[in-house]
Amino acid sequence: MSDTDSPRVLRLTFEFHVPRGLRANIRNERRFEAVEAITGAVQALASRVFPWADRMTVRHEWSYAWWDKTEPVALPTTDKNTPK
């Protein structure tokens, strides 16, 4: 299989967090407006900065993150992951 036959995808993820304790009622309409504005900005920029793409996928998710824990985990040092 050549490189041109392999599926290639550039994935960028943005998360916008509302600070705990902020008394803001973020209504669906406002959220959808924000998603449309950000999508439009990325779409306008994409053809200039990544002209090879023929489409983009937009994932819009809204959730209450009662539990969210992310932590880095160090892996053992090997000759393939250590600069010489």
What digits encode the pLDDT tens for the residues 37-60?
999 999 999 999 999 999 999 999
Radius of gyration of the chain (CA): 19
Q: Could you give the dihedral angle defined by the CA atoms of residues 7, 10, 11 and 16, in that order, rounded to the nearest 10 degrees?
A: -160
Task: Identify the residue whose tokens are 């994932």.
Answer: 59
Tell me how crowded residue 73 is: count the other CB atoms within 10 A of its CB: 4
The whole-chain average pLDDT of the chain stands at 89
Joined tokens for residue 80: 């393939």
Sign of CA dihedral 46, 49, 53, 59: negative
Please state the pTM of the whole predicted model: 0.71
